[in-house]
Amino acid sequence: MNDTGYVESRTPAPPAGTHVAEVLPNDFRDAGLLANVRPADWTNPQPARSYNLVVVGAGTAGLVTAAGAAALGAKVALVEKNLLGGDCLNFGCVPSKALLRAARFHTDLRHAPRFAGSAPVPSEPDFAGAMERMRRLRAHISRHDSAKRFQALGVDVFLGNGTFADRRTIEVAGASLRFQKAVIATGSRAAHPPIPGFEAVTYLTNETVFNLTERPRRLLVVGGGPLGCEMAQAFARLGSEVVIAGQDPYFLPGEERDAAEILADALRRDGIEVRLNTEVTGVSQRDGEKHVRLVNDNQETTVVVDEILAAVGRVPNVEGLNLEAAGVEYDHEHGVRVNDYLQTSNRRIYAAGDVALERKYTHMADATARIVIQNALFWGRKKLSSLTIPWCTYTDPEIAHVGLYVHECWERGFPIKTFTVPMSDVDRAVLDGEEGGFVKIHVRDGTDTILGATIVARHAGEMINEISLAMVAGIGLKTVSRVIHSYPTQAEAIRKAGDAYNRTRLSPLLKALSRRWLAWSR
Amino acid sequence: MSEPSPILEDLETLQRDTIGYFLRAANPDNGLISDSSREGAPCSIAATGLGLAAYVVGAERGLLPRREAAARTLTALRFFRNSPQGEEPDATGHRGFYYHFLDMKTGRRVWQCELSMIDSAILIAGALTSGMYFSATTDDELEIRELAAFLYERIDWPWATADGGVVRMGWKSGSGFLSYGWEGYSEALLLYVLGLGSPTHPLPEESYGAWTGSYQWENLYDIEFLFAAPLFTHQLSHVWIDFRGIQDPFMREKGSDYFENSRRATEIQRQYALRNPLRFKGYAENCWGVTAGLGPGFSKQRLEGGIERQFYGYVARGVPFGPDDGTLAPWAVAASLPFAPEAVLVALRHVREVYPESLSRHGLLTSFNPSFDNGDGVGRGWLAPEHHGLDQGPVALMIENHRSGLLWRLMRECPAIVTGLRRAGFRKGWLRSRNL
């Protein structure tokens, strides 16, 4: 193991200039992680004469594709140049949600007087302890993504940089892999801020922030999207002084405005200095401190911080694959071009996950991997556009959405009605002290057909799945109201929206007839 | 002679005292009206526009002679006609619009504020009201009509639109337009009607549809309405425009109108206060009114039950999702009088009985907050130390609309309003019989 924590193996190191993220600080828990996702003693297998499927990239999309295809009897090769598990396991969902949970614990502790009277409150959150917990849990979860497990599933795992040699061949670490079909699942990486000065200072991205062992005293988060908001809240709750700067007037551009405003309020209550409509125009480093220039409404200010986290978006990993040799069209902004069947311009080659999709979520990677298995191997005609896709920002409260937004409904000419249930009307939310937020369900006007929904609640990510299920199964609000929900639960908010819909069907005439009947029958 | 109804007497007193704000707050040299009663407050062009309409009501009610009302109006309109327009950062306006806040003496921009489209619309609405009311053939009143038309026709409405047609919120010399436009239903309804009605530089018709495409029709507390969080957004356009019975394409589809919508929005405010989800002091079905305005200031307090409260200064408070820090605005209650007279009168009576300090001889103070601990040991909370012109205007003018419908009557005959409404797609009701 070398000084950077990069595990040397008998597989060749990535070529110079290749983007490679590292896992630090490489204590015994990280050794456990690396043993699963980049084993030092790994030997690439002898390549088969031909593969049904070669998958380039072993993040979520690649792993699900490989495992699914192998389970169906396909001969599969999986190529990974860095760490199996990709961003989700190593630098994304897994570490961030572990950190957020620790952060939430400390916030609940701060609010102890609301529940337990005079419970003792620690003077300072244990940042290092929270990171250690994260690394322990990540290593534990990494068993599912390990090279050995996939080998046991019958997948030929090649560690090295895969490149297309021609329209039907991928080369990796000196081996040639001939394929019937291939899947590009190389994912995405953090975009680097095109801001003067950033090239000369050290700053964090999602690939390095989880390597921290000490809390940064002062942190600037650049970017008001999901990652920026989540990490700003996590670090603030774990004791950092946090400033978050976003270019747009609201957080989570594209999200419901009410949701964005509730989130901004929540971040302020966590002590975060919120700077919206703010551009970062420059940065310099002096005596270990970073001086960052911010401009809002023509007014320039400078903040001095110890660390900067850049969360300004993601770019697809399309470099270094020699896609031209394979006849695969792509661009550096949108990634690999695919049709609705996830097929590229080379009909033998598909793409799944972040490298080809606008919505870069782990569950999208999973869902598109399943489409690709059917379409690539079994003449399937599954479409990307047929998917009902939820997503969630895991701040506190969480903000989850599925289906269409109101403006999208109007753009498509659907008159709609929104049934709104404040969480403060839900007994369990009140009892839990978690009554900030709402459930909003959009139905086509005159029907109970659910077109979309937004939920803001502590457990919005859990709750949105009920609505996704309803939409996929073609269940409308009328039926939702018939489904018995356990009392008291926060998910009852969804049933309340169904009940509100039913009450709109009780017209004045029906009410009058009902009253007359009941009066007569008394 | 029978005794005047106590309710009517209360309203008369409140209206008279509120109009008094504008009489005191004007600079007699240029007609500009100050934003608030705070010492050193700048001019607010919105307060000035509301003040112009208040002069009309004052004259009609005999609170000031017609001649004086006309003279005050002329002073202000002449100032705006002669004021510097251009891209210089200290001009009074640009492209026919005006900066939100102006120096009371010089009339030039202050506070590095934005060129404000909505506040310019309120100013122009006031000017057009004057033009409709002062219809005599005297030199002064003739000049009022000419100046009102000039100021209105000078506005370059299309310049203020973004790609996609929605009107931007503001502009600044140097940095250009603010990066966001009007989104969702709001007081911009007045702005769009005026912009669409311009005979010289009208907004494109599609701009209105682009804006209403961001509307949200919600079922909340079993009430269906066009959502906007702060109460004043449901009131400001109604100061001038009688929306009863007329419908744009959106309201036709929903089987409602904007007046009915404001009635429902008022009821939602009551329901919110009754539910009081954040458990603030004082909230009840007869004590409500959450809207944009002044508050106790940005601070945190830990109050009974261990709850940590965040308070704010001037912020756009709204229901049901906030921001709400326990600040109530009785002026916004009064401004809902035409929509829900019984509920409003009950609430005003409650405020007078329980929070009498919020009512001064100059009308309603802008807001109060019973939940805020001001450290006096008495527990009466926080009280705004001032009156705001933007709050006083709707109180006086909506009382008048409730009592006589004066402003609505005047503006139903105003070509700008009628044209604007028709181009926005409004039909039915009183619009049918207008041949303007």
Interface test with A, best of B179, B208, B220, B226 (most A CBs within 10 A): B220
Arithmetic mean of pLDDT, B248-262 = 97
Confidence band (pLDDT; 50, 70, 90) for A29? low
Pairs of CB atoms within 8 A across A/B: 84
Residues A398-455 have pLDDT tens digits of 999 999 999 899 889 889 999 999 999 999 999 999 999 999 999 999 999 999 999 9
Name residue B381's beta-bridge partners. Answer: none
Would you state the structure tokens that stand for residue B84, as one six-digit string? Answer: 């510097």
Strand partners, A443: A417, A450
- Residue B277 to residue A297, Cβ atoms within 8 A: no
Q: Nearest CA of chain A to the CA of B158: how many Å? A: 23
In 3D, which of A199, A202, A407 has the Cα closest to residue A305?
A202
| Residue A223 · residue A278 · CB < 8 Å | no
Spatial distance between the Cα atoms of B87 and B95, rounded to a whole number of angstroms:
9
Question: What share of chain A has pLDDT > 70, as a percent?
Answer: 93
Our CA angle for A188, A89, A361, nearest 5°, is 50
Indicate yes or no: CB of A418 within 8 angstroms of CB of B322: no
**Is residue B277 within 8 angstroms of chain A, CB to CB?**
yes
When scoring B180, B216, B252, B303 by the number of chain A Cβ atoms within 10 A, the one with the most, hence best to mutate, is B216
Return the amino acid letter for A201.
V
Residue A12: predicted pLDDT: 37
Q: What are phi and psi of A204, to 5 degrees?
A: -95, 150
Report DSSP letters for A339-376, one per residue. Answer: -TTSB-SSTTEEE-GGGT-SS--HHHHHHHHHHHHHHH
A268 vs A271: CA distance, rounded Å: 5
Q: Which residues in chain B have their CB less than 8 angstroms from residue A249's CB?
A: 179-180
- Return d(Cα A396, Cα A263) in angstroms, integer: 8
Mean pLDDT of chain B, nearest integer: 93
Q: What are the C-alpha distances in Å from A321 to residues A147, A162, A164, A185, A201? A: 22, 7, 6, 11, 29
> Could you tell me which residues are beta bridge partners of residue A293?
A282, A302
On the 0-12 / 13-18 / 19+ scale of CB atoms within 10 A, B71 is middle
Please check the confidence at residue A320 and state whether its pLDDT lies above 70: yes
Query: Does residue A463 have a pLDDT over 80?
Result: yes
| Residue A3 pLDDT grade (very low, low, confident, very high; cuts 50, 70, 90) | very low
Smallest CA–CA distance from A247 into chain B, residue? B179
Radius of gyration of chain A (CA): 25
- State the burial class of residue A417 (Cβ atoms within 10 Å of its Cβ: 0-12, 13-18, 19+): buried
Q: How confident is the model at residue A199 (pLDDT cuts 50, 70, 90)?
A: confident
CA distance B303 to B310: 10
Alpha carbons A81 and A18: distance in angstroms, whole number: 9
Contact across the interface for B277 and A406, Cβ inside 8 Å: no
Q: Amino acid identity of A493?
A: A
**What ranges make up the beta strands (E) of B145-222?**
170-172, 176-177, 217-220
Q: Which run of H or of E encompasses A10?
A: none
Please tell me if residue B175 touches chain A, with a CB cutoff of 8 Å.
Answer: yes
Cα A220 from Cα B209, distance rounded (Å) = 40
Separation in Å, CA of A489 to nearest CA in chain B? 18
Distance from C-alpha of B364 to C-alpha of B359, rounded to nearest angstrom: 5
Phi, psi of B364 (to 5 degrees): -80, 130
Model confidence at A16: pLDDT above 80: no
Residue from the list B112, B180, B214 with its beta carbon closest to the beta carbon of A407: B214
Give A-chain residues touching B269 at CB under 8 angstroms. Answer: none
Q: Do A113 and B306 touch (CB under 8 A)?
A: yes
Closest by Cβ to B219, choosing from A249, A257, A500 = A500
Q: Where does the pLDDT of residue A366 fall: very low under 50, low under 70, confident under 90, or very high at 90 and above?
A: very high
Q: What's phi and psi for B184, nearest 5 deg?
A: 80, 160
> CA-to-CA distance for A93 and A88, rounded, in angstroms?
5
- Decide: B368 and B328 in contact? Cβ < 8 Å: yes
Whether A240 and B281 have beta carbons less than 8 Å apart is answered as no
CA-closest candidate to residue A411, choices B116, B213, B354, B143 = B213
Q: Between β-strands B93-94 and B97-99, what pairing exists: parallel, antiparallel or unpaired?
A: antiparallel
Report the alpha-carbon distance of residue A292 to residue A312 in Å, rounded.
Answer: 16
Residue A507: CB atoms within 10 Å: 9
Q: How far apart are CA A310 and CA A23, in angstroms?
A: 18
Helix (H) or strand (E) holding A170: strand A169-172
Select from B218, B253, B275 the Cβ nearest to the Cβ of A415: B253
In angstroms, the CA B66 to CA B283 distance is: 42
B302 CB neighbour count, 10 Å cutoff = 12
Highest mean pLDDT pick, A275-284, B45-54, B174-183? B45-54
Chain A positions touching B253 (Cβ under 8 A) are 415, 445
Interface of B with A in 112-141 (CB under 8 A): 112
CA torsion sign for A395, A396, A401, A407 is negative
| Contact present, A233 and A396 (Cβ < 8 Å) | yes
**CA distance linking residue B198 with residue B326, whole number of Å:** 41
Beta bridge pairs of residue B360: B363
Strands B223-226 and B217-220: antiparallel
Contact B207, B161 (CB under 8 A): yes
Buried/exposed code over A389-400 (b: 16+ C-beta within 10 A; e: otherwise): ebbbbbbbbbbb
DSSP state of B237: G
Distance from the Cα of B175 to chain A's closest Cα (Å) equals: 6
**Res B306: pLDDT:** 67
Residues in chain A: 522
Q: Which residue of B has its CA nearest to A277?
A: B179
Task: Please check whether residue A482 is in contact with residue A494, taking contact to mean a CB–CB distance below 8 angstroms.
Answer: no
Amino acid at residue number A117: G
CA contacts within 13 A on the Cβ side of B217? 23
> What angle (nearest 5°) sits at the alpha carbon of residue B388, between those of residues B10 and B78?
105
Interface check for B322 against chain A (CB to CB < 8 A): the answer is yes
Name the average pLDDT for chain A: 91
Q: How confident is the model at residue A6 (pLDDT cuts 50, 70, 90)?
A: very low
Query: Phi and psi of A373, rounded to 5°?
Result: -60, -50
Give the C-alpha separation, B167 to B214, whole Å: 13
pLDDT, tens digit, for every residue of A210-265?
Answer: 999 999 999 999 999 999 999 999 999 999 999 999 988 889 988 988 999 999 99
Identity of the residue in A249, A410, A504 whose CB atom sits nearest the CB atom of B219: A504
Instruction: State which amino acid sits at residue B73.
Output: T
At A11, is the pLDDT very low, low, confident or very high (cuts 50, 70, 90)? very low
Q: What is the pLDDT of residues B62-84, one digit of tens each?
A: 999 999 999 999 999 999 999 99
ipTM value: 0.91
Query: For residue A77, which phi and psi values (nearest 5 degrees)?
Result: -115, 140
Verify whether the Cβ–Cβ distance A504 to B305 is below 8 Å.
Answer: no
3-state secondary structure of B360: strand
For the segment B309-360, what is each residue's pLDDT rounded down to a tens digit?
889 999 999 999 989 999 999 999 999 999 999 999 999 999 999 998 888 8
* Beta carbons within 8 Å of A504's beta carbon, 6+ residues apart: B219, B224
Model pLDDT for residues A35-81, shown as the tens digit of each residue: 999 999 999 999 999 999 999 999 999 999 999 999 999 999 999 99
CB A248 within 8 A of CB A261: no
Over 70: is that where the pLDDT of B166 sits? yes
- In this predicted structure, the answer to whether residue B47 has a pLDDT above a threshold of 90 is yes
CB nearest to A257's CB, from B184, B213, B305: B184
CB of B176 within 8 Å of any CB in chain A? Answer: no
